[in-house]
Amino acid sequence: MSTIRLHRTTTLTPSQYIARLIDFGPGRQKLFGNSADEDLELHHLGLTDADVTEGSRGIWERLHYDWSNPNRVVLTTTDSNVWGGASGHTDTFRRRIDGMTDIDVVVVREGKNLKGWILGLVLGTIGRSVLKTAFENSVKAIELRHGVANGPGRAAA
């Protein structure tokens, strides 16, 4: 099992980021590269949760999104062709006194088969930079959509 922690400071408010994170309409892949529009299926959309299948390049997962806490979004993997167990994402938001927002993301990847086990191992080692880049690109794209100035881009190593 791999656990990857990412951090970014942004000018976005938590609600601005969450609004884009839970927008499952066309063009999602422009914000979240690992969520190809053609692989997206929305099964349920509620006021504070959603059930979505998404993925790209032959890897998919069905996720339960829970944004009932305005400072945290929890994505729990409920089915996947490679991920199982405790797999998922947790995005936590903290507003700072200077008006910026710290976003902390924890990605847990537990392979459920050989392909998942190998991918999890790669993500936990050399693949971490790929996830970091994808996360930073998503934040920048959301900043542009909201017309806010780019944040300082301080990312934890």
- The domain ranges of the chain are 2-145
Cα separation, 154 vs 116, whole angstroms: 30
List pLDDT tens digits, range 112-124.
998 998 988 888 7
pLDDT at residue number 44: 97
Is the pLDDT confidence value at 19 over 80? yes
Q: Which residue in 84, 23, 13, 85 sits closest to 50, CA to CA?
A: 23
Chain segment 61-114, per-residue pLDDT in tens? 999 999 999 999 999 999 999 999 999 999 999 999 999 999 999 999 999 998
Q: Given 1.20.120.80, 3.40.50.1110, 3.40.50.300, 3.30.530.20, which CATH number is that of 2-145?
A: 3.30.530.20
